[in-house]
Amino acid sequence: MADADTFPKLLQLKASQLADHPAIREKDYGIWQTWTWADYLKEVTRFAAGLSAMGFERGDKLFIIGQNRPRMYFAVSAAQCLGGVPVPTYYDAVAEEMKFVIGHAEAKFVIAEDQEQVDKVIEIRESCPTVTAVIYDDDRGLADYDKDFIRSFESVQALGDKALAADPELINRSIQASNGADVSVILYTSGTTGQPKGVVLTYDNIRSIASICVDLEGLNETDSVIAYLPMAWIVDHFISYAQAHIAGFCVCCPESPETVMADSREIGPTYHFTSPRVLENHRTSIMIRMEDASKLKRWMFHKSLDVAKRCLDAKLEGKPIGLFDQLMYKLGKLTVYEPLKNQLGYSRTRLTYTAGEAIGPDMFDFYRSIGIHIKQVYGQTEASPFVTVQPDDQIRSDTVGKPIKDVEIRLSDDGEVLFRSPGVFHSYYKNPEATRSAKTEDGWVHTGDAGIFDSEGHLKIIDRTKDVGRLNNGAMFAPKYIENKLKFFQYILEAITFGDARDEVTAMINIDLSAVGDWAERRGLSYGSYQELAAHPEVYKLIEECIEQVNADLAADELLADSQVRRFLILHKELDADDGELTRTRKLRRRIIAERYKTLIDALYDGSDHCEISVEVTFEDGRKGSLNGDIRIVSVRVFNTLAKTA
């Protein structure tokens, strides 16, 4: 394996070692289709040869837009086989977002999943002169399109067959001409403060961290994953492509985003990556369904969770578990925990990573106690992607673990997390100034995150460094930390807090429609829309109670006790990536939100009890409109700090 320093070389290795072992699966029309590692190599080789016949050359960029499909992964590998660079993007990106990435990367070819994605490319075709061809996977609706510019995946492979018949070693020679120092992929960041940056990663970058984590977790060809994360996100590329090529496990592509959980139940993946928001959605769904169960089932469910929590606490504290609790846990495992895990698609899962946001202690305890092995990790695209992982015997809800092998972490004088590792990114594409500001000459990378180490060497992430501010009294204000605490409640989908250079902290809230809607229906509260539900006085009381609990927690925090939320409002619309308020990975675009909702923010601080606002919204069909609202503003109870009480 020492000579397999690129992913195409690893693919050749796996095709020889695990020729008949499943490499990738796809559920299509209700049936799972399987490609072995030998099949994988054959599909990639044929497509790469076809691209070569069409003029794809070393250094060219292949723009990829689509959901998790085998052919999308084959395309990534084919571009690399030719010494080219894959550039995946988010499948829900609008045409304007695609135009920037295609133009900035100077992509020569595009592979699009279906008609929807092809239409986006056609819309911006005149603005993207570098693109010479568009290749599609799903041919539905594309029969009458320009055949000179738009071609099917099969037709490209047919070209490849002819090229390989004339020169069987064509692709192998190209594969051997690359090495680990070559560029492997360009992944564009979500762009919270402006246009996204193209993160250039080499084979050595990604392969080194992937190998470390494969060894750390003992991943091998018997494992499997469900590929549902966006292909443009480093985590999917890392797990579904890099680690799969190293460990040889099977990648399973669900039929659609809506069927991920059902498909997971069928396929039984052993390795998961998820986010706190997904975990919270699953738990909320379970709790809602339990409200419809009989009294006996509800009683059994909650009693079993209590037992599981006691057993988890004892285990984490190194204390013995009593005989009664041991027996009750076995009964709960049979009647509650295992059926729950199966319902969630975790029946065979032995490892689950979570990252992106903090995980609430209640949610952490819920999943760990029923036997789901959740571990928090931390990293970023520029790290390829992980720098910390929680050790198996040191799992906690409030840390992101310890540095993994070959990774160094230190804190700057102002508390920023810096790391150095073999996964440090090569550069930002065509942006040397940004590269110099992110990387020091001796290889340390500025993460932009503020963190601290606890007494046992675990890293805790507080907030983004640029977002950490000060109240007018000098107290620290960490908005993301407070917002995460608010989002631990199932009724709160998003929260945006304000306080830097102000006398007090205020908040704007997005409610979770499914959780609050179910809560309202059980209480006989009528509503006809999200806007009506968000404005309901009883919903305001519900959210006020959640904020008060967060304030009580903050009161016990020496650093953030003054950051208790004093006033809040509930927005009349959900923050939306199509409106520019969130990135495609659902990160807040704070500057845009501050500009769009300036009227509401001013009202939070001028003592108003309501405020009228009209904002532009984008409908699903792309049309623009406006949404008006008369928003209530409510004051919240705050608590004395421990210091003041003492």
Distance of CA 96 to the CA centre of its chain: 22
Q: How far is CA 178 from CA 182, 384, 444, 495, 511, in A?
A: 7, 20, 27, 47, 50
d(C-alpha 333, C-alpha 227), whole Å:
28
Residue 361's pLDDT is: 80
Edge-first strand order for the sheet with 492-498 is 492-498, 505-511, 565-570, 624-635, 610-618
Superfamily (CATH H level) for 276-347+349-464: ANL, N-terminal domain (3.40.50.12780)
Q: What is the pLDDT of residues 120-174, one digit of tens each?
A: 999 999 999 999 999 999 999 998 898 889 999 999 999 999 999 999 999 999 9
pLDDT band at 30 (very low <50, low <70, confident <90, very high): very high
Q: What is the pLDDT of residue 122?
A: 95
Predicted structure pTM score: 0.86
Residue-wise pLDDT for 72-98, tens only, equals 999 999 999 999 999 999 998 989 889
% pLDDT > 70, the chain: 98
pLDDT score for 646: 40
Cα(275)–Cα(353) distance, rounded to whole angstroms? 8
**Partners of 618 in the beta sheet?**
624
Tokens for 592, please give them.
């845009």
Residue 264: which pLDDT band, with cuts at 50, 70 and 90? Answer: very high
Q: Start-end ranges of CATH 3.40.50.12780 in the chain?
A: 7-221, 276-347+349-464
Q: Which of 208, 173, 204, 174 is nearest to 6 (CA)?
A: 204
Tokens representing 301 are 């469910």
Tens-digit pLDDT profile for residues 376-405? 999 999 999 999 999 988 888 889 999 999
The mean pLDDT of the chain is: 93
Q: Determine phi and psi for 443, rounding to 5 degrees.
A: 90, 5
Residue 29, token pair as written in the block: 């029309």
Q: What is the DSSP string of 308-337?
A: HHHHHHHHHTTPPPPHHHHHHHHHHIIIII
Q: Is the pLDDT of residue 532 over 80?
A: yes
Homologous superfamily, domain 7-221: ANL, N-terminal domain (3.40.50.12780)
Name beta bridge partners: 63: 87, 110
645 has pLDDT over 50: no
- DSSP labels for 391-426? -TT---SS---EE-TT-EEEE-TT-EEEEE-TT---
Instruction: Give the type of residue at 326.
Output: Q
pLDDT score recorded for residue 148:
87
Task: State residue 193's pLDDT score.
Answer: 57
The beta strands (E) that lie in 520-564 are given as none
Amino acid at position 567, single letter: R
Tell me which of 137-146, 188-197, 600-609 is least confident: 188-197
pLDDT for 191 equals 62
For residue 317, name the pLDDT band (cuts at 50, 70, 90): confident
Phi-psi region of 468 (alpha: psi -120 to 50; beta: other; left: phi over 0): beta
Which ranges in 140-199 belong to alpha helices (H)? 153-166, 170-176
The residues of the chain that CATH labels 3.30.300.30 are 468-645
For residue 643, what pLDDT is reported? 47
pLDDT at position 621 is 67
Could you report the per-residue pLDDT of 201-220, keeping only the tens digit for each?
999 999 999 999 999 999 99
CATH fold of 468-645: GMP Synthetase; Chain A, domain 3 (3.30.300)
pLDDT beyond 60 at 644:
no
Tokens of 290: 């339990």
What is the per-residue pLDDT across 560-583, written as a single tens digit (0 to 9) for each?
899 999 999 999 999 998 888 988
Is the pLDDT at 541 greater than 60? The verdict is yes
Cα–Cα separations (whole angstroms), residue 372 to 329, 359, 555: 14, 14, 32
Task: Give me the torsion for CA of 263, 265, 269, 271, rounded to 10°.
Answer: 100
In eight-state DSSP terms, residue 11 is: H
Minimum mean pLDDT among 11-20, 153-162, 360-369, 428-437: which range? 360-369
Cis peptide before 385 (omega within 30 of 0): yes
A 10 A CB-CB count for 622 gives 10
Q: Are the C-beta atoms of residues 568 and 177 closer than 8 Å to each other? A: no
Question: Does the pLDDT at position 71 exceed 60?
Answer: yes
CB distance 465 to 481 below 8 Å: no
Given a contact cutoff of 8 angstroms between Cβ atoms, the answer to whether 613 and 629 are in contact is: yes
- Residues in contact with 63: Cβ distance below 8 Å, sequence separation at least 6, in sequence order: 87, 89, 98, 101, 102, 105, 107, 109, 110, 111, 131
Output DSSP code: residue 242.
Answer: I
Do residues 396 and 368 touch, judged by C-beta distance below 8 A? Answer: no
Using one digit for the tens of pLDDT, what is the confidence trace for 500-516? 999 999 999 999 998 99
